Amino acid sequence: MKIIQSPQEMQEISAGLRISKNTIGFVPTMGALHQGHLSLIQKCRKENDTAVVSIFVNPIQFGPSEDYQKYPRSLPQDKKLLESVSADFLFVPEANEMFPFGYQTKITVESLSAPLCGKFRPGHFQGVATIVMKLFHIVIPTRAYFGEKDYQQFRIIKQMAADLNLPVEILPCPTAREPDGLAVSSRNQYLSALERKHAPLVYQSLLEGGKLVEKKEKKPEVIRTAVIKKLQESSLISIEYVEIVHPETLVPVREIDETVLLALAVRIGKTRLIDNLMIQPAS
C-alpha cells in the first residue's frame, strides 16, 4: 500500500491509472476504521482494478459545539487494517492543503440536506458535499462506496453526482452491525460500559417499527409511536428524531403503501448515534 499526502500527487497517479483504463474504487473515510469501513473496502477491492481509501477528518462538517478536536484518530492502526484488506493507496492530506487560506467554495444539495440530521446539524451536509466533491476531483474514481448507516449522506452524494454529471458511480453498502444489532460506528467508542449496554435498543426500536409494517400497519404515526416507546425503555436515551420518509426524496410519508425509510437519531449520554431501516409493506 502506498501512502500519499499531496493532493497533486494523488491526482496525477489517478489520472495515469484512468488513462491506462484501470478502474478506481474509492472509499472516503475520517479514519478510526472499523468493520463497517472494512466491508466497504473489501467490496471496493473486489470490484475495481485499484482501491483507494482516504482518511481526512473534515473540519467544515463539524459544528462549533461538535467533536472535531475529540474525533478519534488512530492512523497507525488504520494503516495496518488497510494493509490487511489490500488497499492500494491511502490518501491522507493535511487540512491546510484541502482548505488553504482564502478558500471560499462550498457545495449545497438543498432539499436533501434539510430534513432529518440536517435539522439538527446546520451546515453539516454542505461540509460533507464539499469535501467529497474535492476528493472526487483528486482521486478521479470510477466507483465510490458509502455505508447505508449514513443513508442521508449517501443520498446527498448520489444526487450531487447526478446533478453535476460526475463520471463516478455511487454505490451503497449494507450497514455493518455488532452481534447485538448496534450499527458499527467510530463514535461507539465514546459510550461508557453502561451506555453501551443500553445502545442495542436503537436497532431494536427500528425492528419494532418494521414488525408493525409487516403486520400491514400503514399509519406512520403509529410506527413512530411504537419506535419512541421502545427507545424510552432506557432513561439514558434522549430522542432527537424518529421519521418515516420516502427513500429518494427524504420527505415524510402520509401513508405506508410502498418502501419507506425509518430513520432516527438519538443521544446516549453525550454520544449521538444514527440508524435506519428500509421497510416494505406486506403485499
Q: What is the DSSP string of 233-279?
A: T-TTEEEEEEEEE-TTT-PBPSS-SS-EEEEEEEEETTEEEEEEEEE
Describe the chain by its helix, strand, coil percentages, rounded to 5: 40, 20, 35
Within a domain: 240: yes
Assigned C-alpha cell, 215: 403486520
Which residue segment(s) compose the domain that 191 sits in?
186-277
State the pLDDT at residue 282: 79
Within a domain: 30: yes
Within a domain: 108: yes
Domain shared by 11 and 135, yes or no: yes
| pTM, entire model | 0.96
Domain shared by 165 and 193, yes or no: no
State the pLDDT at residue 147: 97
Of 184, 62, 64, the closest CA to residue 117 belongs to: 62
Question: Which amino acid, one-letter code, is at 90?
Answer: L
State the pLDDT at residue 67: 80
Classify burial at 96, counting beta carbons within 10 Å of its beta carbon; exposed 0-12, middle 13-18, buried 19 or more: exposed
- Would you give the distance in Å from CA 112 to the centre of its chain? 14
Domain shared by 273 and 151, yes or no: no
pLDDT, tens digit, for every residue of 194-207?
A: 999 999 999 999 99
Beta-carbon-side half-sphere exposure of residue 45 (alpha carbons within 13 Å): 16
Which residues are marked as active site?
Answer: 37
Count the domains in the chain: 2
Low-confidence ranges of the chain (pLDDT < 70): none
Domain shared by 9 and 118, yes or no: yes
Domain shared by 144 and 240, yes or no: no
What is the distance between the alpha carbons of residues 138 and 144, in angstroms, rounded to a whole number? Answer: 13
| Coil, strand or helix at 86 | coil
- Which CATH number is 100's domain given? 3.40.50.620
